[in-house]
Amino acid sequence: MKSILIGALTAVLAAGAQSSEAERQLKAAMNAEMMNGDLQAAIKQYGDIAAKYKTDRAVAAMALVRMAEAYQKKGDAQARKLYEQVVRDYSDQKQAVAVATARLAVGRRPAHNGVVSRQLWAMRRNGQQIFGLASRDGRYVPYTDWSDNADLFLHDLETSADRRLTRRGDGGNLFAAQAALSKDNSQIAYSFYARDHWEVCLASLQGSEVPNSKLLYTNPEADAISVNDWSPDSKWLAISLRRKDKTGQIGLLKPQDGSLRVLKSIDWRGPTKMLFSPDGRYLAFDLPPSDATDRRDIFVLAVDGSRESHVVTHPAEDVIAGWTPDGKWLLFRSDRAGALGLWKIAFADGKPQGAPELLQPDLPGETLGVATSGALYSWVNSPRFHGAMVSDIQMAGFDFESGRVLNDPVTFVTDFVGTNAYPDWTRDGKQLAYISRRSKTPVLVVRAADSGRVIRQVSPKLSVYAGAGVRISPDGQSFVTWGTDAKGRRGIYRIDAESGEALAVALTPEEGDGEALVNPAWSPDGGKVYYARFVGRAPEQKASLVERNLSSGVDRVVITRPRRQMNLQSWSLSPDGRHAAAATATPGTTCVVSISGGEPRDMAGSFVMWAPDSRSVVLRRRSEGGEGELWRVPLHGGAARQLEWRPSPGTTVVQLSPDGRHIAIMNTSTPKPGEVWVLDNFLPSQPVKR
């Protein structure tokens, strides 16, 4: 949200806004909308600004656009009237008009000016994942099928036929990744992970059988290698490397002999894509401009190494999408206007020409490049293309003593549906924190438990792992999670709830033997953080529960067991901080261990939640009919007692409020398989197809 705010204000200043007071008021209104979630207050402020600063047309136009977007979030038809007002009365404010025009076009099929968006391929299963680009003629799409040994396949969009290209995968330690087709579709280059190293392989596509692949390049210092694009003359492959020393490289690989020419040294994060210009003279890519941000800008590098241009500089998230067939425009996706839309910028003589222009307000999925016909291909995969599961948070009244749900669970978070996960109560039970994977950079959110009002939200300056949850500190001033910082250091991090700054709590050793640190939790007084540590390789991997004293920095190992006996990938600390519950190797069994030490105690059932007084745990047990029953099991003697509530099959996380009167539920479901779509006639120079 901060990037949207900054981007909008930047646009206003660029348009010539002179009033610092107008700027301050606009920023305050955007803060009410974006940070506080108070749409009604924001609407009033935007309206007052538009009326007060009529002569400052840049400010007035932007205020009306933001006012319309606030109405749109409320589902109010007033939004359309405001967009129409901007288009009608502020034709001199090009960026505001572009956003308003694009918003008015949403939902039309076909869209305005003959733009057509259509589905080309509905994948059969979730395991099919596209890493590379569509072919230049728009006919083929390479993909890895994780449900079929993670081998490489090629899908024909015209005939719907699928061709297997490798028989090397095993779905775990051997798998195909990024792939690129040569311009004439006669060859395919792809990266492949082979147990402990990465390879670049090359295969001829002549014939119809599984082709023989030859090893083109490998590097023992590479932690990952990505094959991005072929040059138009097929003499070079654009690849990126992430090295084990947390640095990276962009280079050109010669298919004839496997020699590498490094063009640029970068940090470990690397580009999402690299694309040759149609004349083969330039290479476009996206990168974070510094280690102070994860937000990307667009760069273009001359293939001969003579120059580099910072083409798109903006606080928003900007990722490369493609070149127009004539090479005159560079296409990219940006969230500067709100949703992740499609933009273009003119390019000539090795540098950008003019300001970016909005083409489409909302372009879902991951782009797969632009064909020679000018069509743009995209891979659309739920939910919002950031994970394997759709997740939402619900809330219900709860009587813990009887185990009865007092009302049907209702959706607690109604925006960015499908991306909200891992609820966590504050110590007083008045607020609920969670993680929202609404964009590439997740957002940590805190809402009032009674009203759902947003109290705070922050984008952490950290790459948070896909399956990572978030825990809010007892004082509500920070979060703890696990991820990777801008310097490539993996581990447990404490995140400031106001600034998003990430401070390392515990880091994974650079030369650790398969070591990973995950799943942190706060002690009740906030003075300690507990986390799981995995060391070694399967099947001998060890799992430890570790206590880190935040004042002294001293670690204490609570317990260590083989991971096959105790799986700390999912564990929970009791409210009083005296016990931990974790899954065992036996399905449907939970072990409880004292934080002070001692042997764990096994209990029949899968862990669901702790009692508020920490004296018992709630476990799910299978009934004779196969349904899940909840049982309250005392830790220190006494009979187990069945609860009335039976969670739905999609309930994966249950968090009981400190007073035992409410439950926050994380419900998950498997998204539908991915789809490949094509966007046609979206460029102004293109004729409308009949």
pLDDT tens-digit readout, 239-277: 999 998 889 999 999 999 999 999 999 988 899 999 999
Looking at the structure, tell me whether residues 254 and 283 fall in a common domain.
no
Indicate the residue among 247, 270, 293 that finishes a domain.
Answer: 270
CB 433 within 8 A of CB 479: yes
- For the stretch 426-430, contacts whose Cβ atoms lie closer than 8 Å and that sit 24 or more positions apart, written own/partner, are 426/472, 426/474, 426/476, 427/474, 427/476, 427/524, 427/658, 428/658, 429/657, 429/658, 429/659, 429/662
Looking at the structure, tell me whether residues 544 and 578 fall in a common domain.
yes
Q: What is the DSSP letter of 419?
A: B
Question: Is residue 661 assigned to a domain?
Answer: no
Of the candidates 575, 389, 564, 581, the one whose C-alpha atom is nearest the C-alpha of residue 466 is 389
Question: Is residue 656 assigned to a domain?
Answer: no
Rounded mean pLDDT, 43-60? 89
User: How sure is the predictor about 4, in pLDDT bands with cuts at 50, 70 and 90?
Assistant: very low
The full DSSP string for 110-127 is S-GGG-EEEEEEE-SSTT
Rounded mean pLDDT, 13-31? 61
Instruction: Say whether pLDDT at 2 is over 60.
Output: no
* Cis, bond preceding 383 (omega within 30 deg of 0): yes
Q: Is the pTM of this model over 0.85?
A: no
Q: Which helix (H) or strand (E) holds 556?
A: strand 555-562
Looking at the structure, tell me whether residues 524 and 601 fall in a common domain.
yes
Question: Is residue 555 assigned to a domain?
Answer: yes
Of the candidates 328, 312, 168, 85, the one whose C-alpha atom is nearest the C-alpha of residue 320 is 312
Mention every residue, 6+ apart, whose C-beta is less than 8 A from residue 121: 141, 155, 157, 160, 675, 676
pLDDT at position 14 is: 40
Of the candidates 226, 345, 229, 326, the one whose C-alpha atom is nearest the C-alpha of residue 276 is 229
Helices (H), 422-508: none
User: How sure is the predictor about 539, in pLDDT bands with cuts at 50, 70 and 90?
Assistant: confident
Q: Bigger pLDDT: 344 or 650?
A: 344
Total number of domains constituting the chain = 4
Q: What is the DSSP letter of 660?
A: S
CATH of the domain at 98: 1.25.40
Domain span holding position 478: 425-651
Q: Can you state the percent helix, strand and coil of the chain, rounding each to 5?
A: 15, 45, 45
pLDDT digits (tens, 9 = 90+) for 227-245: 999 999 999 999 999 998 8
For 6-20, 145-159, 622-636, which range has the lowest pLDDT when averaged over its residues? 6-20
CB 223 within 8 A of CB 177: no
Looking at the structure, tell me whether residues 577 and 609 fall in a common domain.
yes
CATH of the domain at 521: 2.120.10.30
Looking at the structure, tell me whether residues 196 and 79 fall in a common domain.
no
pLDDT digits (tens, 9 = 90+) for 106-156: 533 334 457 888 899 989 887 899 989 999 999 999 999 998 999 999 999
Looking at the structure, tell me whether residues 266 and 324 fall in a common domain.
no
Count CB atoms within 10 A of the CB of residue 362. 16
Question: Is residue 61 assigned to a domain?
Answer: yes
pLDDT digits (tens, 9 = 90+) for 363-397: 888 899 999 999 999 998 744 434 457 889 999 99
Indicate the residue among 105, 140, 170 that finishes a domain.
Answer: 105
Question: Is residue 627 assigned to a domain?
Answer: yes
Rounded mean pLDDT, 220-229? 94
Helices (H), 217-375: none
Query: How far is C-alpha 576 from the geometric centre of its chain's CA atoms?
Result: 33
The full DSSP string for 565-628 is TEEEEEEEE-TTSSEEEEEESSTTEEEEEETT----EEEESEEEEE-TTSSEEEEEEE-TTS-E
Looking at the structure, tell me whether residues 465 and 585 fall in a common domain.
yes
Rounded mean pLDDT, 180-204? 95
User: How far is the C-alpha of 377 from the C-alpha of 139, rounded, in Å?
Assistant: 10
Looking at the structure, tell me whether residues 478 and 582 fall in a common domain.
yes
Looking at the structure, tell me whether residues 341 and 472 fall in a common domain.
no
Of the candidates 522, 516, 554, the one whose C-alpha atom is nearest the C-alpha of residue 537 is 516
Indicate the residue among 204, 238, 270 that finishes a domain.
Answer: 270
Question: Is residue 345 assigned to a domain?
Answer: yes
Of the candidates 23, 20, 28, 99, the one whose C-alpha atom is nearest the C-alpha of residue 60 is 23
Mention every residue, 6+ apart, whose C-beta is less than 8 A from residue 354: 345, 346
Looking at the structure, tell me whether residues 341 and 377 fall in a common domain.
yes
pLDDT at position 466 is: 73
End-to-end CA gap in the chain:
40
Question: Is residue 202 assigned to a domain?
Answer: yes
Looking at the structure, tell me whether residues 459 and 535 fall in a common domain.
yes
pLDDT digits (tens, 9 = 90+) for 489-518: 899 999 999 999 999 999 998 766 668 999
Question: Is residue 667 assigned to a domain?
Answer: no
The mean pLDDT of the chain is 87
Query: How far is C-alpha 419 from the geometric centre of its chain's CA atoms?
Result: 9
Looking at the structure, tell me whether residues 249 and 351 fall in a common domain.
no
Of the candidates 672, 665, 674, 10, the one whose C-alpha atom is nearest the C-alpha of residue 337 is 10
Locate 145 and state its tokens: 């099928």
